[in-house]
Amino acid sequence: MRRFAPYLLLIAAAVVVSVLLPAPDRTVQADAGEVARTTGIRVLGATRGYATTALWLRAGDAYQRGDLYETLATYRLISELQPRNPAVYSYLAWNQAYNISAQFPEHDRRSYWVVLGLQTLIDGQKRLPDDASLRLDEWNFLLNRTISYPAAVLEAERNHLGEVDSTWNQVVGVALKLRKDLNGKDVAALDDFLENIGLQIGLFDTADDVAALSASDRDRLLAPAFEEQTPEQQGELGQAFTVLERDQMRALFSLTPDVLAFLAVAHWCRLHAMVLAITPALDAQPHGLAVESALLNAVRLASLRIPPTLAHETRQEIERRYKEAVAHAFVSGIENALRIGGREAADDFVDAMKFNFEGQPELLPPEVIEKAQQEIHE
């Protein structure tokens, strides 16, 4: 996008700098209380089911009473009683990142609970490495929570996924540095933007469309007075962008180049993180068709937002890996659909991907789609 391209030049030098962080020391020594607690859990034996049911009820009651710390402590105990149940981690993470975080007016305190929810999902994945549902939960977490907390979530994911992809790790480091280097006025503007608008998935797609307008049309659209005009006066310009999109663009285009640079880089980082988070779920058996769909959609979106200042060879490598990911997920999705719902389900899956990738034939060529449709009915 022409308007934003100059801003992104700010990261050109920073991308080549390695910003790897040392892993935190997680070595802790269990105290007497921890020993007593784990010993007590083992003693429960066959009565665990009754104890767990009681704890679920207690957690719900504590949350209704607003006792957040009892809620958290109870959920953690449930995870010790049912360490092989992915729903425990999913439910706990949801309550931490959404319900409990919403109780605090301060952004930093909400951010703390959001990151705690993500860490719960990651802990669950470590205990259940072959479970696909927790990977899908992480994908959805990235999709939704980076809207308001991009820096905090990316920093947490960097500790989790940084070793998986060194290039992404470095670009996340650039994004976090851009955020750290903002002056006080820009920080306040960014926080206000994230609070009221958010880093929506389609934000920069809409910005591309606005940037493509003539200067006069763009200025007219972004002027607050545009909303005072009748639909007839707004004409085609008013029909091309919804009221919500116009509000989003006014807020976005009012930000400084430094803030825009952070948002643009963070946007690709979160999309690529979604690719990294969901990819291992393809190897988990069984898994639902939502896994393939999630991976394909993440790649589709991420491929459009690769930072333009990356070295040519680096960009080519990312594009190559995206193509491989699409090919793998497309074949896996067809096979999975055939197992789940037969040829009709496979046809539906292929039709959906044909529609989604219509504008990106370099990722999913039309001839590949046509061949797949033929083979489904052979």
User: What's the pLDDT tens digit per position in 186-208?
Assistant: 999 999 999 999 999 999 999 99
What's the pLDDT tens digit per position in 235-277?
A: 999 999 999 999 999 999 999 999 999 999 999 999 999 999 9
Measured distance CA(357)–CA(184) in Å, rounded: 41
Nearest to 90 by CA among 108, 69, 75, 71: 75
For range 328-333, the mean pLDDT: 98
Does the pLDDT value for residue 14 go beyond 70? no
Does the pLDDT value for residue 292 go beyond 60? yes
Does the pLDDT value for residue 52 go beyond 70? yes
Counting residues of the chain whose pLDDT is more than 70, the rounded percentage is 87
pLDDT at residue 82 in the model: 82
Asked whether the beta carbons of 97 and 133 are under 8 A apart, the reply is: no
Does the pLDDT value for residue 35 go beyond 90? no
Structure tokens at 325: 């990911």
Output the CA angle 106-108-113, nearest 5 degrees.
100
Asked whether the beta carbons of 241 and 124 are under 8 A apart, the reply is: no
Does the pLDDT value for residue 12 go beyond 60? no
For range 219-242, the mean pLDDT: 97
What's the whole-model pTM score?
0.85
Domain coordinates in residue numbering, the chain: 5-20+30-310
Does the pLDDT value for residue 152 go beyond 80? yes
For range 363-372, the mean pLDDT: 97
For range 105-127, the mean pLDDT: 95
Structure tokens at 346: 């496979």
Mean pLDDT of the chain: 88
pLDDT bin (cut points 50, 70, 90) of residue 11 is very low
Asked whether the beta carbons of 266 and 199 are under 8 A apart, the reply is: yes
